[in-house]
Amino acid sequence: MKEIEYTYTVGMDDEDVQEVLTNHRTGTLALAADGEAYSIPVAYHYEDGALYFRLGEHPGSEKMRFLDATEQACLVVYDHDPETNTSWSVVVRGPVSRSDEEVPGIAERSAYYVPLRVFDEPIEELDPVLVRLDIDEITGRRTGD
């Protein structure tokens, strides 16, 4: 293990964390149901202390089954610059649920998202769902100086 290179990290201040959440648009959303983990890449929008996701729902959707069973979700947003060997990550935890907002809430926020990705489902069978993660905890780390 002595051959492994180590890098010190430091905590990010609130301003840096807010900047990451505001300016970065994608991350990995982790859900859990009955002791089984499930994570998916998502586009998100940060607004008023919450994160919003647009997900496509179709009959038998595994991600929606996990979403409905998850009480506390986790979003990881991160980046690494190989040229400078610097990196940062932000981990957000909190309750996640389908948003009570009507479908216009999705349309109003469309400019904040990359296009909704579809994998192997007919688009006509997908219903867009607005999902909200209320932030209980945020941890930000970056490589040290």
CATH for 9-143?
2.30.110.10
Are the CB atoms for 80 and 72 separated by under 8 Å? no
What digits encode the pLDDT tens for the residues 61-79?
Answer: 888 899 999 999 999 999 9
pLDDT band, very low/low/confident/very high, at 91 (cuts 50, 70, 90): very high
Number of H helices, E strands in the chain: 3, 8
Of 16 and 128, the structure prediction assigns the larger pLDDT to 16
Of 19 and 122, the structure prediction assigns the larger pLDDT to 19
Taking Cα atoms as reference points, which of 54, 48, 2, 49 lies closest to residue 25? Answer: 54
Residues in Cβ contact with 19 at an 8 Å cutoff, skipping those fewer than 6 apart: none
pTM above 0.85, yes or no: no
What digits encode the pLDDT tens for the residues 107-116?
Answer: 565 666 555 5
